[in-house]
Amino acid sequence: MTPNTNKKWQMTLPEDWTVKQADENGVETEMLLRDHPVLAKYTTKDEAVKALVHAQRMIGKSPEGYVRMPGDDDGPEELAAFYGALGRPEAADGYELPNMDVPDGFEIREDLTNGLRQKAHELGLTPKQVSGLYEWFMPLVMDAHHGIENEAQTMRETELESLRSIHRGDTPSILDHAMRAAEAIGGDDLLTALDKTNAGNHAAVINAFAKIAPLVLEGGLRGSTKGWGEDLSIERLREMMKDPRFSDPSKRDSTFVKKVNEGFEMLYPGDYVPGSRL
C-alpha cells in the first residue's frame, strides 16, 4: 500500500512554526503552519518551495492585463496612456454616436454632440460608455422637448380662445393690427423675439399691440378708408384677390389691381411685395 505523502510532508514542519490566520469574521488567530490550508494543494515540500520562489520572483511585476492607476505625481502622458489602455480613442472624433429616430421639429445640434465627444474624451470614457449614455439620455431630451411643444400649443389655443371670447368677429382684425404694430415698432427682430419667447401668443401682449396700433400706424389706419368706402383690412384684401378682376388674366382690371396693391402698401408700408404677407 502506497502511503499518503500529501499530509506526511507537512507534518515534518516544526511545531513552533506558526502563522496568523483570519477567520470569516476577520479575527486573527495563531495556527500551526503545517495545518495551513494553502499547503494542502502541494503534494511535496519541493512543490511548495518552488511555488514560494516563483511568487518571490513575481513581486514587483505587473500581471498580464494589469493597468496601473496614475498617481497625483503623474503627468498628462501617463494619464493618456492609462485612458488608452482602458479603451479611450486617440481623439474625440473617435466616438461614434448611435443613430436615433427624432420627432418632427426636433434637431440634434452638431455643436452639442461635438461638445459631448470632447468632454467624454477629457474624462477618459470608452466608446461603449459614451454610446450607452447617449442612448439613455437622448430619449429623455426628446420627451422633454415634446412636452414643451405640447404645452406651447395648448397655451396658444387657450390664449386665442381668450381673444375670441372678447373680440369675437373682430379677432382677425385685432391680430392683424397687433402684428403690424409690433413690426412697425421693432421690425423683424421684434417679431422673431416674440415668436421665440412665445410672448406673441399671449392675449395680453396681442391686445397691448392692438391698442397702440392707431398710434404707430396712424397714417395707415386713419387713411385706410380713403377711396375704399369700407374699412381696410387684410381679410378684405384677401377677398379682393380672389375676385376675377384681380386673379383672372382674361378679366384683369388694372384699376381694381391698383386699388388692391395700394391697400397692401397702406397696411404694410416699406418694402412691399404684393401677396407676400398673406
Q: Characterise 227 by phi-psi region: left (phi > 0), alpha (psi -120 to 50), beta (else).
A: left
Q: Which residues contact 118 (CB under 8 A, 6 or more apart)?
A: 92
98 or 160: which leads in pLDDT: 98
What helix, strand, coil percent values describe the chain, rounded to 5? 65, 5, 35
pLDDT of 42 higher than 70: yes
Asked whether the beta carbons of 230 and 236 are under 8 A apart, the reply is yes
User: Helix, strand or coil for residue 85?
Assistant: helix
Its sign, for the CA torsion 105, 110, 111, 113, is positive
pLDDT digits (tens, 9 = 90+) for 74-114: 788 888 888 888 889 999 999 999 988 887 777 888 998 99
pLDDT band per the 50, 70, 90 thresholds, residue 229: very low
In angstroms, the CA 135 to CA 183 distance is 43
* Helix, strand, or coil (residue 29): strand
- Cell of residue 194, nine digits: 416674440
Question: What are the φ and ψ backbone dihedral angles of 150, each rounded to 5 degrees?
Answer: -65, -40
Mean pLDDT over residues 24-52, rounded? 83
SS3 119: helix
Among candidates 207, 104, 196, 211, which has minimal Cα distance to 159?
Answer: 207
CA distance 77 to 84: 10
What SS3 state is found at 90?
coil
More confident residue, 28 or 115: 115
What are residue 32's phi and psi, to 5 degrees? -65, 135
Q: With 0.85 as the threshold, say if the pTM is over it.
A: no
Distance separating alpha carbons of residues 256 and 85, to the nearest angstrom: 80
C-alpha 212/C-alpha 207 separation (Å) is 9
Give how far Cα 76 sits from Cα of 71, 73, 116, 195, Å: 11, 10, 21, 48
Query: What is the tens place of the pLDDT at every residue in 201-212?
Result: 888 888 888 888
Q: Place 222 in a pLDDT band, splitting at 50, 70 and 90.
A: very low
- Which residues are within 8 A (CB) of 187 and not within 5 positions of it... i.e. 6 or more apart? none
Beta pairing class for 28-32 and 18-22: antiparallel
Per-residue pLDDT, 269: 56
pLDDT class of 61 with cuts at 50, 70, 90 = low
